[in-house]
Structure 1
Amino acid sequence: MRVAIAGAGAVGRAIAVELIENDHEVLLIDRAPEAVVPERIPQAQWLQADACEMSSLEAAKLQTYDVMIAATGDDKANLVTSLLAKSEFGVPRTVGRVNHPDNEWLFTEAWGVDVNVSTPRIMAALVEEAVTVGDLVRLFTFRKGNANLVELTLPDNSPYVGKPAGLVPWPENCLLVTILRDGQVYPPEKDQPLESGDELLFVINEEAEDALQELLSPRSPKA
């Protein structure tokens, strides 16, 4: 997969390293000369240019990339980059970094953003996930399809403790993705019994979240 990253700061470089380690081809774009230091990540391609300008993205041949990640520290720049990538170059997937929570509402498909990543929201969700048992915690929102990635730690009093996952009457538009137990990852096989303390990850439509909460933890209703 070919991935272009706008912003060669700490965040952009960290993303690049992870992608390269997973055998993806990466291009880092930054307008600041001091940020373009190929020796930092020699496996990546580098381009000193302003990702908000059409000429820069044309020089990068952005139309040949599968993903555009707008990871600068400027929300306006991330929005413009995402919009250009999607509307002018037809990049199939765009990811926009949200630096200020008040701007999160702008990072939608209308601005060419397929997925927005808000650090404050993710940190808050991880805190909730770490301390909450029996309550549904939303970890991530998929802009396309009105679906969310959610987590629920199965409480002792759940009516489905000890029952196979295949016998649970999951709500419509709800998919159990994986089961995390004692540091191990288990596939959600039909005969896999659920245990107290299991961390269950789901992809689910927002409208079905309350039903899932009530199904697995009826004595701890969602606030």
Structure 2
Amino acid sequence: MRIAIAGAGAVGRSIADELLDSDHEVLLVDKSPKAIKVEVVPRAEWLLADACEISSLDDAGIQRCNVVIAATGDDKANLVVSLLAKTEYGVPRVVARVNDPRNEWLFTEAWGVDVAVSTPRLMSALVEEAVSVGDLVRLMRFSQGEANLVEITLPPEAELVGVRSGDVTWPQDTTLVTIVRGTRVIAPSDEDVLEDGDELLFVTTQEREEELEEMFSVRPQGPARGK
């Protein structure tokens, strides 16, 4: 894939390195001469330009890109880049960095954003994910379709422990995408049996999250012996 990254700071360069390691074509765009450090990411293409201007995006050949990543440190710039990439050039996938969590509500499909990545929210979600068992943790929001990536760790006493994945009727608009079991990452099939401690990743809508979480409720305790 061809991917353009607006913002060649530390974040943009790190993303570029990861994508280049996966054999993608990467173009880094930044309006600051100080940010143009070709020697740091020599495998990438570089363009000194303002990604908020249509003439710059024309020069960058944005219309040929499969993905645009708005990764500057300025939320206003990231929104403008996202909107132009989607509406003017029809880029299939637009990912935008949210610097200030108070601005997260703006990063929607209306501004051309397919996926909004908020570092503070993601870090807090990862903390919750590490300590929460049986509670739904929202990891990421996808603007298109109002879908979210969520995680639930299966408690030992949950009714779903020992049940085949194919025998579970998940809520409407909900898909189990991954099971993380210890060091293994499992692409779930109908034959996979859910185990205590499994970390289950779902794509679901916000209105289905409560229904999904209820499915992981702990079995009611029976009466104590001798009573």
Q: TM-score range by the shorter chain?
A: over 0.9
Match of 1:200 in 2: 200
Aligned to 1:10: 10
CA distance in 2, matches of 1:81, 1:72: 10
User: 1:191 corresponds to which residue?
Assistant: 191
Number of the residue aligned with 1:31: 31
Percent of matched pairs sharing the same residue: 63
TM-score (structure 1 length as normaliser): 0.95
Q: Give distance in 2, aligned partners of 1:173 and 1:219.
A: 25
Contact 1:75/1:99 (8 A) holds in 2: yes
How far residue 218 of structure 1 moved from its aligned partner, in angstroms, is 4.8
Whether the 8 Å CA contact 1:2–1:65 is kept in 2: the answer is yes
Q: What is aligned with 2:126?
A: 126
1:1-223 alignment runs, 5 A limit? 1-218=1-218
> Do the aligned partners of 2:176 and 2:188 also contact (CA within 8 Å) in 1?
yes
Deviations 1:79-121 (A, max 9, x none): 1111111111221211111100111111112112111111011
1:219 Cα deviation from its structure 2 partner: 6.5
Report the secondary structure of 1:145's partner residue: helix
| Structure 1 Cα separation of the partners of residues 119 and 150 of structure 2 | 17
Q: C-alpha deviations, 1:164-191, integer Å up to 9, x for none?
A: 1111222222111111111111221212
Which of structure 1's runs of 4+ aligned residues deviate more than 4 A?
none
Question: CA–CA distance in 2 between the matches of 1:177 and 1:110?
Answer: 27
| Aligned 8 A contact 2:159 2:219 in 1 | no
Paired letter, 2:81: T
Unaligned runs of 5+ in 2: 221-227
User: What TM-score comes out, normalization by structure 2 length?
Assistant: 0.93
CA RMSD of aligned residues (A): 1.4
Asked whether the equivalents of residues 135 and 217 of structure 1 are also in contact (C-alpha less than 8 Å), the reply is no
Is the contact between residue 154 and residue 217 of structure 1 (CA under 8 Å) also seen in structure 2? no
